Amino acid sequence: MKKILFISTRNPYSGRYSGDVIRSFKIINVLKKKYKIDLVYLGKKTHVKNKNINLIPFDQPNILEKIFYCFISLIKFEPLQFGLFFSNSMKNFINENSQNYDLIFFHHIRSYPYFPKNYYGRTILDMGDLYSENYLQTFRYLNILNPLKYIYFLESLIVKRIEEKIFSSFERVLLFSKKEMLSVKKKFYDKLFHVDESVEKINKIVNYSTKNSYILFVGNLNYLPNILAVKDFIKKILPGLLKKLPDIKFCVIGDIKKVDKYYLSKNKSVIILGSQKNITKYVKKSFCGVANLSIATGVQVKVLTYMSYGLPVICSNQVAVNFGKSALIYKSKEDLIKKIVEIKNKKVLWNKFSKRSISFVKKFKWKNVSLKYFKIVNF
């Protein structure tokens, strides 16, 4: 049986509602069916009953360690997130034990600093998105007076450089979006593999009803593009919407900082739920899902999540790139308000995009997507 070392900077078994955590959890649960896996990660010890998986946790770096390693990252002209998720003890363990494995599977670009010295086995990186483009979009979006604007510009340059090194270092690199793959240099094409984002199951539980009053937003609110989108909706969209639809509620689900939850919950038309293991009862009260991100790369899981329940989706141009005519696309603040009002009041329009959601998401079922991993690992 092939032995795999799976490297993650977050605990895949933490239950955290975050795209990268959910994805790593699903990948591991598929691979352990055929291979023996040692999972190395930053986080608390978790007990898992399975003879084919062994969890090896390492403590999260404290604030002083994070500052120190971020400083080292700057000196080495590496992304700050490398410093934020670096553990010297985890690095040493991987260096000392890497030769015991047939293959090392790295999850997320943050795991790249743990690439071991003198390792002669196979290497795969589940990269997902090209983060240099994401950071460049963030730089363009932020106000010129915001100091983060210049940090993101620097990060976009640094990450672009690191992406070049990654494509040279790994034997296989997995990306979500076919369109992003086209922006990679041709000399690396033979290393690239397209693996879609996915949904666990499709369960159309929503039907059109004038009683449904929730506009749903799902995502990790500790991720800058998501929290910016939520704040933007509350500040610029919700006031205009309430004049036309006074009974609606903006329902937000996902990990969020306490200070953000307190601040955003002051609006009586906003429901901030934090992380939820089961979102079904909130979906049943919703009449649409929104993905109003101004910063977006790759395929947005939130959109697939809405679609898997049969919800119509309204999204920005940046998000719509990967969803075509399956979602409603708005072009301005006024247009977004107009489309939300229409999807709320017009049954024929609602049913049309509910059907499109279900039809589109069928090809993203995890049961089908997961089969690609066995082909990718067997080389």
Task: Label each residue of the chain as H, E or C.
Answer: CCEEEEEECCCCCCCCCCHHHHHHHHHHHHHCCCCEEEEEEECCCCCCCCCCEEEEEECCCCHHHHHHHHHHHHHCCCCHHHHHCCCHHHHHHHHHHHHHCCEEEEECHHHHHHCCCCCCCEEEEEEECCHHHHHHHHHHHCCCCCCHHHHHHHHHHHHHHHHHHHHHHCCEEEECCHHHHCCCCHHHHHHEEECCCCECCCCCCCCCCCCCCEEEEECCCCCHHHHHHHHHHHHHHHHHHHHHCCCCEEEEECCCCHHHHHHHCCCCCEEEEECCCCCHHHHCCEEEEEECCCCCCCCCHHHHHHHHCCCCEEECHHHHCCCHHHCEECCCHHHHHHHHHHHHHCHHHHHHHHHHHHHHHHHHEHHHHCHHHHHHHCC
Give the model's pLDDT for residue 16.
74
Give the model's pLDDT for residue 1.
62
Question: Do the first three CATH levels of 3-195 and 214-364 match, i.e. the same topology?
Answer: yes
DSSP bridge partners of 104: 5, 123
Task: Supply the CATH classification number for the domain 3-195.
Answer: 3.40.50.2000
Give the model's pLDDT for residue 183.
82
> Which residue numbers in the chain have pLDDT < 50?
none
Give the model's pLDDT for residue 60.
92
Give the model's pLDDT for residue 207.
92
pTM of the model: 0.84
Give the model's pLDDT for residue 211.
94
**Six token digits for residue 238:** 């919700």
Where along the chain do its domains lie?
Answer: 3-195, 214-364
Give the model's pLDDT for residue 342.
96
- C-beta separation of 111 from 91 below 8 A: no
Q: What is the number of H-type helices and E-type strands within the chain?
A: 17, 13
Identify the CATH class of 214-364: alpha beta
